């Protein structure tokens, strides 16, 4: 276990140095921050930098995973943002369900680079805007085998649209992740959809620089395809259906943000061999430079 962790830690120290270097050289602005699990739309300001550290856990019927994840985001323009996320796996799942962690961090041990393009934005009032964002990403696994299947690289694409105001928030979106075959085996693909509703109570309507809190109800619908094994005689190409719902909370103060939440499955119509989940937990700390 220790030997597995140490190479990853050294990788992340190098990554941390890169973040600091880029952060020092760049100008820094902030942009909105949304839900923890669901797809969202806000992008950073031009030249803005956002650093995130997240703790994530996923519980199945027999195992629990623990992971730290780091996310670096940079605003190329106010509508175009790049992201890079790497994991430190503390405890991996021997049999991992096919899922994404959230819109810009993967749940399993993948390193992912992504590009967000906010292709539509209409700020039509004080604190109010409609916007739509497209996401494309590529990822490489840090593990060779996941759920007894060889893990290949993957691509991810998603689109989301939403509304933000000082009181109400809402986003809907959908995405697709495709894992490439590796040594004759392939992880199942993952079409998914998300819907999020957010609310900021009056008590948290204090003006900047007072702390700013909001509550989200998040939901995910995932349709993971079956894995393909080497020597498999009959590939059925069937899909599971999972629906998860849960609350999350986002607190913002100046350049800092903290969000935490949980998701619980309400529907799990699983194919043979698919892993049943019990919960997903996440906490995320953000800092805008």
| Residue 89 beta carbon to other proteins: minimum distance, rounded to whole angstroms | 29
Residue 64 contacts residue 91 (beta carbons within 8 Å): yes
Q: Which of 57, 165, 268, 271 binds other proteins (CB under 8 A)?
A: 165
Cα angle, residue 134 at apex, residues 130 and 136 outer, rounded to 5°: 160
How many angstroms from the chain centroid is the CA of residue 41?
13
| Residue 152 beta carbon to other proteins: minimum distance, rounded to whole angstroms | 36
- Count of residues near other proteins by CB under 8 A: 42
Q: Is 23 in the site for other proteins (CB under 8 A)?
A: no
Tokens matching residue 117: 């393009």
Q: Please tell me whether the peptide bond between 209 and the residue prior to it is cis, using omega within 30 degrees of 0.
A: yes
Q: Which helix (H) or strand (E) holds 16?
A: helix 2-25
Output phi, psi for 185, to 5 deg: -125, 160
d(C-alpha 73, C-alpha 41), whole Å:
14
Q: Is 27 in the site for other proteins (CB under 8 A)?
A: yes
| Residue 277 beta carbon to other proteins: minimum distance, rounded to whole angstroms | 31
Q: Which of 253, 264, 273, 276 binds other proteins (CB under 8 A)?
A: 253
Output phi, psi for 3, to 5 deg: -65, -25
Residue 284 contacts residue 52 (beta carbons within 8 Å): yes
Q: Is 231 in the site for other proteins (CB under 8 A)?
A: no
Q: What is the DSSP letter of 77?
A: S
| Residue 253 beta carbon to other proteins: minimum distance, rounded to whole angstroms | 6
Please identify, using beta-carbon distances, which residue of 27 and 62 lies nearer to other proteins. Answer: 27
Q: Is 208 in the site for other proteins (CB under 8 A)?
A: yes
**By CB under 8 A, what part of segment 73-102 binds other proteins?**
78-79
Q: Which of 71, 107, 149, 164 binds other proteins (CB under 8 A)?
A: 164
d(C-alpha 136, C-alpha 40), whole Å:
13
**By CB under 8 A, what part of segment 45-74 binds other proteins?**
45-48
Contacts with other proteins by CB under 8 A lie at: 27-33, 42-48, 78-79, 118, 121, 123-129, 164-166, 205, 207-212, 252-255, 257, 286, 288
């Amino acid at each position: 276990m220790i030997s597995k962790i140490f190479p990853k830690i050294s990788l992340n120290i190098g990554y941390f140095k890169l973040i600091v270097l880029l952060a020092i050289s760049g100008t820094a602005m902030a942009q909105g921050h949304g839900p923890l699990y669901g797809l969202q739309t806000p992008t950073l300001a031009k030249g803005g930098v956002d650093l995130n550290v997240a703790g994530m856990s996923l519980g199945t019927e027999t195992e629990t995973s623990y992971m730290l994840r780091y996310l670096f985001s940079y605003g190329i323009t106010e509508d175009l943002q790049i992201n890079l996320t790497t994991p430190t796996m503390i405890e991996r799942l021997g049999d991992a369900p096919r899922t994404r962690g959230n819109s810009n961090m993967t749940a399993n041990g993948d390193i992912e680079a992504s590009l967000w393009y906010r292709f539509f934005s209409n700020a039509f009032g004080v604190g109010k805007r409609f916007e739509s964002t497209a996401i494309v990403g590529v990822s490489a696994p840090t593990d060779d085998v996941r759920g007894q299947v060889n893990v290949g690289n993957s691509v991810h694409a998603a689109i989301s649209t939403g509304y933000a105001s000082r009181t109400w928030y809402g986003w809907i979106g959908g995405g697709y992740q495709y894992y490439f075959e590796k040594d004759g085996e392939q992880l199942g693909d993952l079409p998914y959809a998300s819907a999020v509703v957010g609310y900021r109570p009056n008590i948290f309507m204090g003006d900047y620089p007072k702390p700013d809190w909001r509550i989200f109800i998040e939901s995910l619908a995932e349709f993971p395809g079956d894995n393909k094994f080497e020597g498999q005689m009959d590939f059925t190409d069937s899909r599971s259906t999972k629906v998860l719902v849960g609350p999350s909370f986002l607190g913002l103060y100046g350049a800092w943000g903290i969000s935490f939440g949980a998701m619980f499955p309400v529907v799990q119509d699983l194919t043979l061999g698919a892993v049943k989940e019990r919960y997903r937990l996440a906490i995320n700390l953000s800092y805008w430079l």
